[in-house]
Structures are given as structure tokens and as C-alpha cells.
């Protein structure tokens, strides 16, 4: 695997290859969720590029940034084993030259004001800032994203449209632990007792999906919230979204693609997950 730390080395190398590039941007502390994206990219492209960059401008909570796990040696081993071709490992000063560690502002509309946008002010402008830089550095044909970060997928699709970039996004399914907990770099920060309770998120989302034909969303939400509270969660939101209109719904509607999205903290560790529902 080739490892590059600067755009100056990366770009000419990739351009000289002149092949289809699949790109998997990450913040490292890699797990099977990330590796599944690498595998899909490898199957669909001539060359796969993974980036690892813990982007300071997308952390609205400085403590979350400080505590973000960094496991570069293990990440390199996992990527080698998965057959990843190129790893881009830029520094903060490479991505934000001149010490200007600030986000651009993007017209993201409703996406910036609901759910993650509402609860993490500035987060998506930070994400878009770094993703725009990375896309211009890597110049991929396809971009691989995980459905676990459902709203982020919508935001990045919007960014690509806003920038008129000719890049296809490929949304890959959420990889889960055996008990249903969505794999996440933050899971390693969970205390042992919290780790087993964390599966409640998936149980609640599954329960809502199983019962949406017979029970109203407010009723399902009420039971879901109390189960989450019993498990020790401080829920930030458990909401129903109509995917096409980006409207938060008060109840299920017919003939619609919807998603139930959760965010909350368990023992100070913030976790998110979602499930899609087609009525």
C-alpha cells in the first residue's frame, strides 16, 4: 500500500495512474464498517484510496475531538490486509494551511437545521469543508459512504451537487456487532456495562420498524425513549424523517420512504444510528 501525507505527492501519483478511483474518507480508528466500504470500492474500481484525517472543524465539542481514538498502526495493518491501494494521511497543517483552522459556509438548507445539524452546530460545514478539500485532492470517480451516518450521506450528495462535481456516491449498509450495535470508532470508549446496554438503540429501532403498521409513531417513540432511559441513555433525538422532503414527521404516512434516526449519549459517549422504513 502506498502512503502519502501531502497533496503534492498524492495528486501526481493518482493522475499518472489514469484509472477509475474509488475513495473512502475516514477519521481512522478503523473497524469492519470502514473495511466494508474499502471492499465495495475495490470491487467497483481500479484503484481504492482511503484517507484518515480527524478533522478539527467538524467537532462542535472540543472534548470529543481530544478523546477521538487514534490507532494509526492498526489502521495501516487493517488496510493492508483488505488490499487497499493508497492511504492518504494528511496533517492538520496540510489540510488547513497557514494555521487557519476554520470551515467554509455551505448553503445546506434544512439539512443544517434538523437532527445532527441542530444538535451539532457547525458540524456539517466542517464536514463539507474537509470533504471538498479531499475530493479536489483525490479526484475520485466514486465516493463510498456509510448509511450509519445517514444525514451525512444526504449532506455530501448535496455538496457534490452544489460543487457540480462529477462523482458518484455509493451508500453502503451499516455493519453491526453481533448484538446489533452499529460499529463505530467511538464504541471502544464505552465502559463494559454500557457496551452491553448500547445494543438497546438497535432493539428500539427494530421495534419501531416491526410495529409501524399497527402502532402510531408517538406511542412507539414513548416506549422507545423509556427503554433507552432505562439503559442509561441521555437521548438527544429519536425522530421520524420523510427522506424525500426532509420533513420531520409526527407520524408515519402512507407510500413514503422514511427513516427513524437516533442520537444520544451513554456514559458520555455519543452514538448515532438509524433504520429505514418504506410504507
Active-site amino acid positions: 34
Candidate ranges 30-38, 71-79, 117-125, 198-206; the one touching ligand AMP (CB under 6 A): 30-38
Q: Which of 45, 174, 187, 200 binds ligand AMP (CB under 6 A)?
A: 174
DSSP secondary structure, 3-67, as one string:
EE-SHHHHHHHHHHH-S-EEEEEE-SS--HHHHHHHHHHHHH-SEEEEEE---GGG-SSHHHHHT
What is the spatial distance between Cα 270 and Cα 179, in angstroms, rounded to a whole number? 18
Handedness of CA 10, 15, 17, 18 (dihedral sign): positive
Q: Which of 41, 57, 125, 184 binds ligand AMP (CB under 6 A)?
A: 184
Q: What angle do CA 127, 129, 133 make, to 5 degrees?
A: 115
What is the spatial distance between Cα 226 and Cα 224, in angstroms, rounded to a whole number? 5
Q: 3-class SS at 80?
A: helix
Using rule CB under 6 A, residue 175 touches ligand AMP = yes
Residue nearest to ligand AMP (CB): 146
Using rule CB under 6 A, residue 145 touches ligand AMP = yes
Using rule CB under 6 A, residue 149 touches ligand AMP = yes
Residue 34 CB, shortest distance to ligand AMP, in Å, is 5
Q: Which of 84, 151, 185, 274 binds ligand AMP (CB under 6 A)?
A: 185
Q: Are 238 and 200 in contact (CB under 8 A)?
A: no
Using rule CB under 6 A, residue 36 touches ligand AMP = yes
Using rule CB under 6 A, residue 27 touches ligand AMP = yes
Using rule CB under 6 A, residue 146 touches ligand AMP = yes
Using rule CB under 6 A, residue 131 touches ligand AMP = no
Using rule CB under 6 A, residue 26 touches ligand AMP = yes
Three cell numbers written together for 218: 408517538
Q: Which residues bind ligand AMP (CB under 6 A)?
A: 26-27, 33-34, 36-37, 145-146, 148-149, 172, 174-175, 182-185
Amino acid at each position: 500500500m502506498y502512503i502519502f501525507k501531502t497533496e503534492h505527492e498524492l495528486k501526481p501519483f493518482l493522475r499518472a495512474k489514469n484509472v477509475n478511483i474509488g475513495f473512502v474518507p475516514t477519521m481512522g480508528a478503523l473497524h469492519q464498517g470502514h473495511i466494508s466500504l474499502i471492499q465495495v470500492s475495490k470491487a467497483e474500481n481500479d484503484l481504492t484510496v482511503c484517507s484518515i484525517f480527524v478533522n478539527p472543524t467538524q467537532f462542535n465539542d472540543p472534548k470529543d475531538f481530544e478523546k477521538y481514538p487514534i490507532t494509526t498502526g492498526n489502521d495501516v495493518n487493517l488496510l493492508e490486509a483488505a488490499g487497499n491501494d493508497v492511504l492518504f494521511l494528511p496533517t492538520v497543517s496540510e489540510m488547513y494551511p497557514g494555521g487557519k483552522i476554520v470551515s467554509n459556509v455551505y448553503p445546506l438548507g434544512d439539512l443544517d437545521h434538523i437532527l445532527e445539524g441542530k444538535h451539532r452546530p457547525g458540524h456539517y460545514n466542517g464536514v463539507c469543508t474537509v470533504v471538498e478539500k479531499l475530493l479536489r485532492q483525490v479526484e475520485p470517480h466514486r465516493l463510498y459512504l456509510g448509511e450509519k451516518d445517514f444525514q451525512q450521506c444526504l449532506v455530501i450528495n448535496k455538496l457534490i451537487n452544489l460543487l457540480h462535481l462529477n462523482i458518484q456516491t455509493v451508500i453502503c449498509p451499516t455493519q453491526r456487532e453481533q448484538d446489533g450495535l452499529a460499529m463505530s470508532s467511538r464504541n471502544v470508549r464505552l465502559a463494559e456495562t454500557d457496551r452491553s446496554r448500547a445494543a438497546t438503540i438497535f432493539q428500539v429501532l427494530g421495534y419501531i420498524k416491526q410495529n409501524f403498521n399497527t402502532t402510531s409513531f408517538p406511542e412507539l417513540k414513548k416506549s422507545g425513549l423509556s427503554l433507552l432511559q432505562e439503559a442509561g441513555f441521555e437521548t438527544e433525538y429519536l425522530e421520524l424523517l420523510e427522506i424525500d422532503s426532509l420533513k420531520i414527521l409526527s407520524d408515519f404516512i402512507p407510500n413514503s420512504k422514511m427513516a427513524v434516526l437516533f442520537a444520544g449519549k451513554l456514559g458520555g459517549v455519543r452514538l448515532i444510528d438509524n433504520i429505514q422504513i418504506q410504507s
